[in-house]
Each structure stands twice: as C-alpha cells, then as structure tokens.
Amino acid sequence: MATVSVFVDEAVRGRLPMVCAKTGQPADLLVRTTQSVGGLPGAAWLLVFLGPPGWGILLLLALFGSGQESLTARIPAPTPASSGSTRCGATCGSPP
C-alpha cells in the first residue's frame, strides 16, 4: 500500500487532489472528518513522581489546562453511486 504525507493546512482547506484517500478512485465530493488532538501532554505525567506537590500540579493542569482540541479536515471520497454502495464508508475501506 502506498503512503503520502500532506500539510495539515492542505487537508483543512480541502486542497487535496480529487482522488479517494483510501482507494485511489476518482473522487466527486469532500467528506468532512473530525479528529481530537491535544490534551494533557505525556511529559506532564512525570509530575506523578514528584509526590503530592506534583500530584497537585497535575490535577491543576488537568482541570484548567487547554483541554482537547479538534481538527476538522475535508478528505476526497467517491460518491456512493460511483463506488457501488449506498455508504461511502463501506467502500472507501476496501478496493472494488
């Protein structure tokens, strides 16, 4: 299977080539997808080893930190009629 890397802003703005991201078929529409990103950094969990002061800082970070952010992107996909199914998700995962 081939892989490709794109800049995040290309996906967010919908500036990807009109080719299905999973099958490589020509795409007719853009599917909006949302992915959670961010949250408490992994390194913050090292505060656990500092004992009660670290636990307090970790608790404050968890309560008042920036929290989860989401990234919404528009990914090319074929229309259900052109892919032979009523749902794009059923056909985008496997080639015809």
Is residue 63, in this structure, part of any structural domain at all? yes
DSSP-assigned beta bridge partners for residue 77: 29
Does some domain include residue 33?
Answer: yes
| Tens-place pLDDT, residues 16-70 | 888 887 888 888 888 888 887 766 777 777 888 889 998 888 888 878 776 667 7
Q: What is the pLDDT of residue 95?
A: 41
55, part of any domain: yes
Evaluate whether residue 42 is within a structural domain.
yes
Does 69 reside within a domain?
yes
Residue 29 is classified by DSSP as E
- 82 occurs within a structural domain: yes
Model confidence pLDDT, tens digit, residues 22-36: 888 888 888 888 887
3 inside domain? no
Domain count, the chain: 1
Length of the chain equals 96
Its domain, for residue 38, covers 25-91
In a domain, 1, yes or no: no
Tokens for 80, please give them. 């259900």
Contact 73, 31 (CB under 8 A): no
- Round to whole Å and give the CA distance between 89 and 91: 6
CA 40/CA 63 separation, integer angstroms: 10
